[in-house]
């Protein structure tokens, strides 16, 4: 059998690195190239260790390819793993759709800021859209046509056990000690504001086309999601919080080929759920109210990126992240008819957020 070729967009990030490991454990899959950004030291190491011949980065001179499109067109991979963070990741995901058969999607901004366009392009080019994020992978695996509601879980981040009144004193150091998942800096902060979970609700809204999305705080991260069916059945997706599992599934779907016989215990602590605290996570609750307003979703993402950057530099307080996001979104309205509109709204939102 011919091996399935995979390209990783964002190879030096957390998802990219884990995808490299997963591919090594899947004999029917081969890495045919990588795309990376500014982390050239790590990129060189990856290229050398994995003997990668084909790669592309806008920040690294390359004798073979002068653009992402040229790179993708030459390689025509079976699967593109899209894991470039931020707004750049959205643009490259959209570009990748034209040159592959499957988009394994980790970049949140693709669905948050451009969901309708990504789905439309996938349909047009007959490309499968498979989510990588653990919660969406979980729902994707248990979804069926009798679903009434879906539920995804949240860790509550580093602030889960901290009183709301004390949040404004937290430093980046306090926040970056994240309890369950090992992730990049922005997503770790986003996990503590639960802005990340708001993004995930927006993504779920696009992927599963429903407004009926519940979120519960679940400290162990062992239940990733559930579907509530019209006949009273609840299907729960249960497993260790290990991103390699959903990454592998996004490659091997509809089959399962990744071996990992390490399961969580059936103990009560692995099935604890709590309601989300409204005062502690204001941006999350705000995010849930703008699901069907794409322009505000774009603003939500842009303002968060600016605010998190400022927080990491210790220029604003932790609680100001949510304030900046909500204030920015309130100033943005209008229809989004094209990718150019998205870029424009993103730009304006960043300006507003900076001013605030």
Nearer to Mg ion, 134 or 250 (CB): 134
Q: How far is the CB of 56 from Mg ion (least distance, A)?
A: 27
Nearer to Mg ion, 134 or 192 (CB): 134
Q: Are 27 and 1 in contact (CB under 8 A)?
A: no
Nearer to Mg ion, 103 or 201 (CB): 201
Give the SS3 label for residue 151. strand
Q: How far is the CB of 129 from Mg ion (least distance, A)?
A: 17
Residue 187 to residue 86: CA distance in whole angstroms? 10
**Residue partners of 168: CB distance under 8 A and separation at least 6:** 317, 318, 319, 320
- Pairing, β 234-238 against β 223-229: antiparallel
Q: How far is the CB of 111 from Mg ion (least distance, A)?
A: 12
Nearer to Mg ion, 100 or 220 (CB): 220
Longest dimension (CA), the chain: 60
Q: What is the dihedral of CA 59, 61, 66, 72, to 10 degrees?
A: -70
Q: How far is the CB of 139 from Mg ion (least distance, A)?
A: 11
Nearer to Mg ion, 17 or 339 (CB): 17
Residues engaged in binding Mg ion (CB under 5 A)? 133-135
Nearer to Mg ion, 50 or 239 (CB): 239
Residue 248 to residue 234: CA distance in whole angstroms? 25
Do you find a cis peptide bond into 256, omega within 30 degrees of 0? no
Helix (H) or strand (E) holding 227: strand 223-229
Q: How far is the CB of 155 from Mg ion (least distance, A)?
A: 9
- Give the nearest residue (CB) to Mg ion: 133
Q: How far is the CB of 272 from Mg ion (least distance, A)?
A: 18
């Amino acid at each position: 059998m011919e091996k399935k070729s995979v390209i990783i967009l964002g190879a030096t990030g957390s998802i990219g690195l884990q995808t490299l490991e997963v591919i090594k454990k899947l004999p029917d899959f081969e890495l045919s190239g990588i795309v990376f950004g500014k982390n050239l030291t790590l990129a060189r190491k990856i290229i050398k260790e994995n003997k990668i011949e084909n790669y592309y980065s806008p920040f690294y001179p390359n004798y073979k390819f002068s653009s992402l499109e040229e790179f993708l067109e030459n390689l025509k991979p079976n699967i593109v793993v899209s894991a470039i963070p931020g707004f750049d990741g959205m643009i490259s995901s959209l570009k990748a759709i034209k040159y592959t058969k499957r988009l394994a999607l980790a970049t949140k901004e693709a669905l948050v800021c451009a969901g309708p366009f990504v789905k439309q392009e996938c349909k047009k080019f007959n490309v499968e859209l498979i989510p990588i994020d653990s919660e969406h992978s979980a729902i994707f695996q248990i979804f069926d046509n009798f679903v009434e509601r879906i539920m995804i879980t949240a860790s509550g981040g580093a602030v889960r056990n901290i009183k709301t009144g004390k949040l404004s004193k937290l430093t980046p150091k306090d926040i970056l000690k994240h309890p369950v998942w090992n992730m990049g800096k922005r997503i770790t902060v986003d996990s503590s504001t639960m802005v990340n979970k708001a993004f995930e609700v927006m993504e779920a809204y696009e992927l599963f086309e429903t407004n009926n999305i519940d979120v519960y705080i679940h400290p162990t991260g062992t239940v990733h999601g559930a579907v509530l069916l019209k006949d009273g059945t609840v299907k729960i997706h249960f497993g260790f919080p290990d991103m390699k599992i959903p990454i592998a599934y996004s490659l091997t779907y509809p089959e399962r080929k990744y071996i990992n016989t390490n399961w969580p215990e059936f103990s009560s602590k692995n099935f604890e759920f709590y309601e989300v605290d409204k005062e502690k996570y204001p941006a999350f609750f705000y995010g849930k109210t703008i699901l069907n307003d794409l322009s505000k979703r774009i603003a939500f993402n842009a303002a968060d990126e600016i605010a998190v950057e400022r927080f990491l530099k210790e220029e604003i307080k932790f609680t100001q992240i949510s304030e900046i996001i909500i204030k920015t979104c309130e100033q943005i309205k209008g229809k989004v008819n094209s990718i150019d509109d998205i870029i424009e709204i993103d730009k304006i939102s960043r300006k507003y957020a900076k001013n605030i």
